[in-house]
Amino acid sequence: MAIHTIIMDNQTPLIRLFSWLSPAFPIGGFAYSQGLETAIADGRIRDQDHLADWIGGQLHRGGLRTDAYFLAIAARAVTNGNWTALSEANELCLALQISAERDKEMREQGHSFIQAASAWPIPMADALSAAFKNPMALPVAFGAMAGLHGVLPGAAIAGFVNSAVAQQISVGVRLIPLGQTAGLAIQAALEPRIAKLASRAISACLDDISALSYGSEIASLNHEDLGVRIFRS
């Protein structure tokens, strides 16, 4: 059974998306680096070009690509009322987290996002309400909420990935360190890749989920052993 959301005008879903992606939205994303802090600490990322390559790799075959796919799958599942597909996507997304820190990050931010988004009350199926009460990975929670609120999938994916890229750049700006101008240059240069990923992710299914990002995964595992840590992952 599909869910039909009543929206007052065409701009409302987009405005909600902007609010969810605001740095002020209380999910604590600023506290995590997804292993980037480790890569900077051990000298693998030392300048603007290194950081751009690292994030570009995540968009190509890493965690950012995978998150975009899960988001799209979750949004489509909620739009179509396919609760089995939503559950399967969430279970796989949580199972693929390579380290304890990344698993905790996914669960905590997913929970925080669902709680914060409840500021926009909206009718939902009992099955979805029950799903939101269980641990849910952030991209799945974001996609599910986007589908529920009638946010266009392409906009939701592009916005989510762009925000994640900005967060990674913020880590680099603070730790390498880089100037704000250099950070913005990376963001601008990665726009075509973000747009391309958003277009590809819209039709993704679970069989498309794969990654080849050993460097970031090992960095995430090693982050637990850093002597001095600013970020939580």
Whether residue 23 is contained in a domain is answered as no
Euclidean distance between CA atoms 54 and 59, whole angstroms: 9
pLDDT class for 2, splitting at 50, 70, 90?
A: very low
Q: Give me the number of domains the chain comprises.
A: 1
Encoded tokens for 57: 């790799």
Whether residue 22 is contained in a domain is answered as no
Residue 228 has a pLDDT of: 81
Whether residue 165 is contained in a domain is answered as yes
Whether residue 233 is contained in a domain is answered as no
pLDDT tens column, 165-204: 999 999 999 999 999 999 999 999 999 999 999 999 999 9
115-139: burial string, b at 16+ Cβ within 10 Å, e else:
eebeeeeeebeebbeebbeeebbbb
Global pTM reads 0.94
Bigger pLDDT: 139 or 215? 139
Whether residue 5 is contained in a domain is answered as no
Q: Domain of 44?
A: 31-225
Residue 4 has a pLDDT of: 45
pLDDT tens column, 102-116: 999 999 999 999 999
Whether residue 26 is contained in a domain is answered as no
Strand ranges inside the chain, DSSP E: none
- The CATH number for 129's domain is 1.10.4190.10
Whether residue 157 is contained in a domain is answered as yes
